[in-house]
Amino acid sequence: MRITTLDATLPPAGLPGLDPALSRLVEVAGAAADTGRTRTWHVLDTGDALAARGIRPVGTIVAVHGNPTWSYLWRALVNASLQRATAGGAAWRVVAVDQLEMGFSDRTSLRRTLAQRIADLDALVGELGIPGPVVTIGHDWGGPVSLGWAVENRDRLAAVIALNTAVHHPDGAPLPVALRVATARGMLAAGTTGTTAFLDTTLALAELDPAVREAFRAPYATVRRRRGIGGFVADIPATSADESTPALRRMSAGLRDLDVPALFLRGPKDPVFGEGHLDDLTERLPHADVHRFEGAGHLIAEERPYAEVVLDWLDEKVVDAATPGATTGPAPSPTPPADGAAPAARTTGHLWDALDARRDDDDIAVIDMSTARDGEPLRVSWRQLAARVDEVAAGLDAFGVRAGDRVSLLVQPGPTLTAALYACLRIGAVVVVADRGLGIRGLSRAVRGAVPDIVIGEVAGLVAARALGWPGRRISAAALPAATSRALGVEASLSDLARAGRGRTLPAPPAPEADAAVLFTSGSTGPAKGVVYTHAQLTALRDTLAAHFGVTADTGLVTGFAPFALLGPALGTRSATPDMDVSAPRTLTAAAVAAAVRASDARMVFLSPAAVANVVATSAALDDDDRAALERVETFLSTGAPVGVDLLRRAQALMPNAVAHTPYGMTECLLVADVTLPEIEEAAGDRGVCVGRPLGTGQVRISAIDADGRAAGEPTTDAGVTGEIVISAPHLKRGYFRLYLTDREARRGLPERWHRTGDVGHLDAHGRLWVEGRLPHVITTAEGPVTPVGIEQDAETVDAVSRAAAVGVGPVGRQVVVAVVEAGTRRPGLASPSLADDVRAATRQRLAAVLTVPVLPTDIRHNSKIDRSRVAAWAERLLSGEKPTAP
């Protein structure tokens, strides 16, 4: 019997990106409460198209849209799968459905709950005779429907994929604002069915071509055809009393038993499904691959090239995994050099072993020069620090923090941060470190993206957390007045936790392979990325640093570089943080460094390049005692960005008995190579910045770049090959936090435990590494690729030039080289003829133009890395005739 209020139909012709030949109507016997009736579904199905080409699919992707879209949402996946199959790639049949009451499928009088929709989908799959393997993909409320089917059909399941969805709603938690408005009494029918308000609001979440927007609107032209939109909203399981809540709970519980590959793609700018929903999904399917597309929102399928990502992922996780002898993951490189095996992380105890060994020692462990008491810096002994770490660790455990929970630390470097960090590590919590140097927007993006369970912060950080809606329970670094704690949502202070932890037994320490930290990059080459380290990798970093630089208990360390400000206790040596804002390196003065050296009797000083520049600039204020203190320094290190030889010389003049080192590294591998000032001077004459040889058991290779600026060559140690720098070390990161694509690209074509740095350079005949810039900044001229650093070094030899940037203008493969220089000018624009002539004479590279700016833009954190992408865009606008405003 067929009962329907509005029959199914085929979509109109001419919808952009949709091949009408792939549309079909399918008669399906109703299921569950719909038994005894026949329903007509509209689907997009590539099965016949594959058969016509003589192609047998490896499986079927069943794609389920949400509310208020329809199968049109999946057109990119439909088209890409056919193109790939036709070109000889893995052939997946794609069946993208219009759920009943939606799209061009039947409208009926039946109220469709989540359980009913899962049964509906099962009936359709049965009618189409889809045997398996099946991959489900869902978006929005299509996520629970597709995942519900997956949980009930594990025998045919190959993988599950979801885009911006949710599978659980905590009791008592409010719905997102957008859904609260849509479900409000008096608004539901008017906003979802009586008008197109809900539809229009959803489509406005992405910048859609007008024709695409109209295509999404096509099935919902009348009130009768929009009833399914209202029905979907009315069925949202927001409370335990809602009809679909039991089905949602069965499905979400069943996900924990799914062991098939899983992929979650997310647009973070989604007002409906937040980071907490993704966190819940990954907690249920911890083996899932996750990628967050920064800048994308709810309609991620319209904003990012997700289809190629899905098909590549299926190749890796399903097709290759099912093929005997195939290798999963990125294609391995051709046979690496004989010594190319990646070194494993050494597991010599725990990061806090040195602290434990000195727990009865009353010598000074940590000095904070910015926290003065009666004019004296704050000093904490090893005994005090060890006791505090144990107390806070036990207190965190009592507070409910468990191994694997993420704890965001919004505390300035010093004894408080040190104690909190080691306490978290001791109980297996994963510390999340993103400093204020990212700026408030970058910091907020990082913290929200990490979805911390706990936020430990000073007042400024807690205010930001409250104002910007960061997730996580709140702990204050210092005790706060009760009213302030209530206003900021603070549940306890570190002192409260320490009191609660006294005498409490600590949990077992984490395993070496457990995650220990998420450290965020500087954001100088795009949105800051969370870099994940295990305990073994952090321990290997400690061992490499100690061995290479000869750190002992008597060394003493002064550090104005945030990533290393916390390693003193791990190295078993006293450490001092100078009086500065660590997130603003240029606030450090020479006198502050001298004071920290004097207070700690340090033999090693570790600073960022921007901090070094200001130390040199303020050296005239040093008195005799300051200079005497600096003369006792034996090792001086500056890392985080390239350091010029002249700056190193001037810094060493302030520490005349120190060996000046400029280690090369990045957040992903904090120590890669090292070089001393004498070695740099000996190696002078090559192009780029000499950063020396690999540290410890680390290894460096070069992947040659092609004419389009892509790193395509087999990694090699041959001298003189310019390309992307590829590295491996025991202390190399485990991966990126929820950035599957970034992880994949970083290991593209490489064996396990190798990493593409994104830097370009070459090795010389002595095995020394020279850095020549960043891969995205390679200039692709008609004569071949050109790296920027050598040109910039040439330009900076001109007396009038203080800094320079070499950038490319024009299309890839036909770019011209433009030099942009700081030369004391007040206004940006074309350089004077004489300056242009001098710059051109200084370099052998042909320059299309020489431009001047008052100040070259730099990254936020280091204040030293020139933002070449921004400079290039500005130069292109200027040379196209736009008004010469500053870049």
Q: CA of 191: how far to CAs of 180, 199, 566, 593, in Å?
A: 12, 9, 54, 63
| CB contact at 8 A, 817 and 791 | yes
Query: Residue range 158-170: average pLDDT?
Result: 94
In a domain, 124, yes or no: yes
Q: 3-class DSSP state for residue 850?
A: strand
Alpha helices in 193-325 (DSSP H): 197-203, 210-217, 227-234, 245-255, 275-284, 300-303, 306-314, 320-322
Q: Which domain holds residue 633?
A: 331-349+559-733+748-773
Q: How confident is the model at residue 182 (pLDDT cuts 50, 70, 90)?
A: low
Q: What is the CATH number of the domain that holds 73?
A: 3.40.50.1820
Q: Answer yes or no: do 308 and 393 share one domain.
A: no
Q: What tokens were used for 53?
A: 């080409």
Is 5 a residue whose pLDDT tops 50?
Answer: no
In a domain, 507, yes or no: yes
- For the residues of 709-771, what is the DSSP string, one character each? S-B-SPPB--TT--EEEEEE-TT---EETTBHHHHHHHTTT--TT-EEEEEEEEE-TTS-EEE
| CB contact at 8 A, 732 and 753 | yes
pLDDT at 146: 98
**pLDDT, averaged across the chain:** 91
In a domain, 157, yes or no: yes
- CA dist 804 and 796 (Å) reads 6
Total structural domains in the chain? Answer: 4
Q: How confident is the model at residue 376 (pLDDT cuts 50, 70, 90)?
A: confident
Expressed in angstroms, the distance from the first to the final Cα of the chain is 69
Q: 3-class DSSP state for residue 642?
A: coil
In a domain, 526, yes or no: no
Q: Answer yes or no: do 177 and 79 share one domain.
A: yes
Domain final position from 511, 527, 546: 511
Q: How confident is the model at residue 341 (pLDDT cuts 50, 70, 90)?
A: low
pLDDT at 340: 54
Mention every residue, 6+ apart, whose C-beta is less than 8 A from residue 88.
Answer: none
Q: How confident is the model at residue 563 (pLDDT cuts 50, 70, 90)?
A: low
In terms of pLDDT, which residue wins out, 641 or 108?
108
Q: Answer yes or no: do 39 and 54 share one domain.
A: yes
* Dihedrals phi, psi of 762, to nearest 5 degrees: -155, 160
Q: What tokens were used for 730?
A: 């025991």
Mention every residue, 6+ apart, whose C-beta is less than 8 A from residue 123.
Answer: 28, 29, 30, 31
In terms of pLDDT, which residue wins out, 187 or 500?
500
In a domain, 528, yes or no: no
Q: What is the pLDDT of residues 508-521, one digit of tens each?
A: 999 999 999 999 98
Q: What tokens were used for 268?
A: 């973070």
In terms of pLDDT, which residue wins out, 187 or 665?
665
Query: Residue range 122-126: average pLDDT?
Result: 98
Q: What is the CATH number of the domain that holds 879?
A: 3.30.300.30
- CA dist 595 and 404 (Å) reads 39
In a domain, 547, yes or no: no
Percent of the residues in the chain that have a pLDDT greater than 70, as a whole number: 93
Q: What is the pLDDT of residues 572-585, one digit of tens each?
A: 999 999 998 766 77
- CA dist 800 and 808 (Å) reads 23
pLDDT at 474: 97
pLDDT at 102: 97
| CB contact at 8 A, 676 and 659 | yes
Q: What tokens were used for 527?
A: 């949105």
Is 428 a residue whose pLDDT tops 50?
Answer: yes
Q: What is the pLDDT of residues 672-731, one digit of tens each?
A: 999 999 999 999 888 899 999 999 999 999 999 999 999 999 999 999 999 999 999 999
Q: How confident is the model at residue 324 (pLDDT cuts 50, 70, 90)?
A: low
Q: Answer yes or no: do 783 and 881 share one domain.
A: yes
pLDDT at 67: 96
Is 187 a residue whose pLDDT tops 80?
Answer: no
Q: How confident is the model at residue 1 (pLDDT cuts 50, 70, 90)?
A: very low
DSSP 390: H
| CB contact at 8 A, 577 and 596 | yes
pLDDT at 360: 96
Q: Answer yes or no: do 769 and 788 share one domain.
A: no
Beta pairing class for 784-786 and 779-781: antiparallel
pLDDT at 413: 84
| CB contact at 8 A, 61 and 77 | yes
Q: Answer yes or no: do 769 and 795 share one domain.
A: no
Q: Answer yes or no: do 691 and 785 share one domain.
A: no
Q: What is the pLDDT of residues 846-883, one digit of tens each?
A: 999 999 999 998 764 444 578 899 999 999 999 998 88
Q: What is the pLDDT of residues 439-460, one digit of tens each?
A: 788 888 888 889 999 999 999 9
Q: Answer yes or no: do 126 and 233 share one domain.
A: yes
Q: What is the pLDDT of residues 520-544, one digit of tens each?
A: 987 766 788 999 999 999 999 999 9
In a domain, 304, yes or no: yes
In a domain, 542, yes or no: no
- CA dist 854 and 207 (Å) reads 36
Q: Answer yes or no: do 358 and 345 share one domain.
A: no
Sheet holding 262-266, edge to edge: 23-29, 38-45, 92-97, 59-64, 134-139, 157-163, 262-266, 289-292
- CA dist 107 and 232 (Å) reads 13
- CA dist 779 and 775 (Å) reads 9
In terms of pLDDT, which residue wins out, 241 or 154?
154
pLDDT at 183: 65
Q: What is the CATH number of the domain that holds 669?
A: 3.40.50.12780
User: How many residues are given for the chain?
Assistant: 887
- CA dist 515 and 678 (Å) reads 39
Q: Answer yes or no: do 77 and 177 share one domain.
A: yes
Q: Answer yes or no: do 165 and 313 share one domain.
A: yes
pLDDT at 566: 82
Is 55 a residue whose pLDDT tops 90?
Answer: yes
- Can you list the positions of beta strands (E) in 123-255? 134-139, 157-163
Q: Answer yes or no: do 187 and 58 share one domain.
A: yes
pLDDT at 685: 80
Query: Residue range 276-305: average pLDDT?
Result: 96
pLDDT at 75: 98
